Amino acid sequence: MNRIQQAEEALKKAGKKVNHRYRMGYHMMPRANWINDPNGLIQYKGEYHVFYQHHPYDENWGPMHWGHLKSRDLIHWEHLPIALAPGDAFDESGCFSGSAVEYNGDLALIYTGHNMIDEEKDDFYQNQNIAVSKDGIVFEKMKENPVIAEPPEDSARHFRDPKVWRHHENWYMVVGNSSKENVGRVILYRSPNLVDWEYVGVLAQSDGNLGFMWECPDFFELDGKHVLLISPQGIEADGDSYQNLYQTGYLIGDYDEETNEFVHGSFKELDHGHDFYAVQTLLDDKGRRIAIGWMDMWESEMPTKADGWSGALTLPRELTLRDDHKILMNPVEETKLLRKTEHRVCANRSLSGSYLAKTAEELLEVKVVFDIADCSAQTAGVRIRGLEKEETIIRYSLTDQKLTLDCSASGKERDGVRNVQIEAGEKLSLRLFIDRSSIEVFANHGEATMTSRIYPKEGRLGIELFSEKGDARVEEFTYWVLKDIWKGDESLE
């Protein structure tokens, strides 16, 4: 048996033991055991492919493989066999994160080889490699690997997560890196043929406040501007900002190809919940820039480990740019395919205290619009997934103009609140996506998003609107019961 077959066997066995209480209904997740970053996002021959960091042998992180999912519509996903297994001379200890491109009609994955030298001292080296597939399912590692054997001279050993794209006659690659002085940065390479790479230089680096290592870079044009997405490690918490162990965010500005100069503004977090990291994007044939993140955080509590699996990916989200160069993030249009039944609970009504929509459904989309201009309340919001001891609260303070996601009673020991400033103006619109163990909040059409895992016990359900210290005007309160896309998936039974 080869390494991929072995891993597939292990997954089949592990899949039989998975406890379903927190299994996702419409999010990407593993058949069993561990996943982290999304990798290799691409629309290839009309289908969307999502690969991901995967340890098929255990519910904890370990030697990284690449798991594989594909979809025609970004909503209904199909598990495919594992695409990459580690263990060759150049990727001895892991096939770390990377990206995908169409290469002479084939599907090529560009990934980091992780190679342990001394586990106890955490001494390792990392390089960049390529694997190619003719059918989009079975991948062969190139004989030229590693295509980039080592980082530039002034670099520390962190050298990973290549994102590759084509522009005019050349291929380009950004890589996450750390300088010898432990300054987080992104470096750029160029190649005429995807195999021979020339180092161009540093694209951007920390000004001293943005951490020691920048993971999972992505660099693209969005509505005439250049965006560098990064997942920095080592940023200090600062008020409501940078509350998670690591962050994902962006620098936005203008890029001069001739000089490799990227003039950009300050770092902004892309999401404000507890669980959002290692985001990557793809450009699809409709011209949409679609982002997907890992919906967890390193070192966080993951109760599903006890159930034989851990890790999920966010809904695919479309990125657009507002006039003031703020990135807006909204679920892709296709998310509407998930809607089974629509419940228009109320419209244009005054709310004083609370109003409960009883439902025993677990997979929900909820839309609530508060008419802020017509509210005397100090706070207004929504309570979900609990009626007694448990609850997850989305609360807007009209006095502070702060949106809060309160997960302190959502079934986890450690998670508390996350806040984001949002000047709602006349209206606050909340679009919530609730799955068995996650919530994604899209506020005011993507101006702020908050993404977190929650672990409520079964049987505590319902959607409750509330106003505190005054009345609130509810312009709309609608919910949809969503489909379970995994029901009937043989690979999960």
* Residues annotated catalytic, as ranges: 37
What distance in Å separates the CA atoms of residue 262 and residue 202, rounded to the nearest whole number? 10
Residue nearer to ligand FRU on the CB measure, 232 or 331: 232
* Backbone φ, ψ for residue 491 (5° rounding): -70, -10
Residues whose CB falls within 8 Å of the CB of residue 149, separated by 6 or more in sequence, listed in order: 127
Residue nearer to ligand FRU on the CB measure, 216 or 394: 216
- Pattern 12-41, ligand FRU, x by CB under 6 A: ------------------------xx----
What distance in Å separates the CA atoms of residue 324 and residue 37, rounded to the nearest whole number? 30
Question: What is the number of alpha carbons within 13 Å of residue 256 lying toward its C-beta?
Answer: 4
CB of 114 to ligand FRU, least distance (A): 7
Residue nearer to ligand FRU on the CB measure, 311 or 386: 311
* Backbone φ, ψ for residue 422 (5° rounding): -150, 115
Tell me the sheet residues that pair with 94: 64, 114
97: contact with ligand FRU by CB under 6 A: yes
* Backbone φ, ψ for residue 224 (5° rounding): 85, -5
Eight-class DSSP state of 60: S
296: contact with ligand FRU by CB under 6 A: no
- Pattern 173-212, ligand FRU, x by CB under 6 A: ----------------------------------------
Grouping H, G, I as helix, E, B as strand and the rest as coil, residue 335 is: helix
Residue nearer to ligand FRU on the CB measure, 161 or 406: 161
Cα distance between the two ends of the chain? 23
Residue nearer to ligand FRU on the CB measure, 35 or 251: 35
Q: Which of 8, 59, 91, 215 binds ligand FRU (CB under 6 A)?
A: 215
CB of 110 to ligand FRU, least distance (A): 12
Q: Which of 8, 59, 161, 284 binds ligand FRU (CB under 6 A)?
A: 161
Pick from 417, 424, 368, 418: nearest CA to 398:
424
Residue nearer to ligand FRU on the CB measure, 25 or 113: 113
Residue nearer to ligand FRU on the CB measure, 152 or 462: 152
What distance in Å separates the CA atoms of residue 253 and residue 226, rounded to the nearest whole number? 5
Residue nearer to ligand FRU on the CB measure, 36 or 419: 36
Eight-class DSSP state of 91: S
DSSP letters for 435-462: ETTEEEEEETTTTEEEEEE--PPTT---
310: contact with ligand FRU by CB under 6 A: no
What distance in Å separates the CA atoms of residue 103 and residue 195, rounded to the nearest whole number? 11
CB of 67 to ligand FRU, least distance (A): 12
Tell me the sheet residues that pair with 118: 123
* Backbone φ, ψ for residue 433 (5° rounding): -115, 120
CB of 474 to ligand FRU, least distance (A): 40
Question: What is the number of alpha carbons within 13 Å of residue 409 lying toward its C-beta?
Answer: 13
452: contact with ligand FRU by CB under 6 A: no
Q: Which of 68, 70, 160, 412 binds ligand FRU (CB under 6 A)?
A: 160
Report in angstroms the alpha-carbon separations of 38 from 127, 131, 312: 19, 17, 9
Grouping H, G, I as helix, E, B as strand and the rest as coil, residue 374 is: helix
- The number of residues that bind ligand FRU (CB under 6 A) is 13
CB of 61 to ligand FRU, least distance (A): 7
Indicate the pairing of strand 33-44 with strand 309-310.
Answer: parallel
CB of 317 to ligand FRU, least distance (A): 18
278: contact with ligand FRU by CB under 6 A: yes
- Interacting positions 49-78 with ligand FRU (CB under 6 A): 53, 64
CB of 199 to ligand FRU, least distance (A): 20
CB of 64 to ligand FRU, least distance (A): 5
Q: Which of 99, 112, 133, 179 binds ligand FRU (CB under 6 A)?
A: 112
What distance in Å separates the CA atoms of residue 262 and residue 187, rounded to the nearest whole number? 12
Q: Which residues bind ligand FRU (CB under 6 A)?
A: 36-37, 53, 64, 96-97, 112, 160-161, 215-216, 277-278
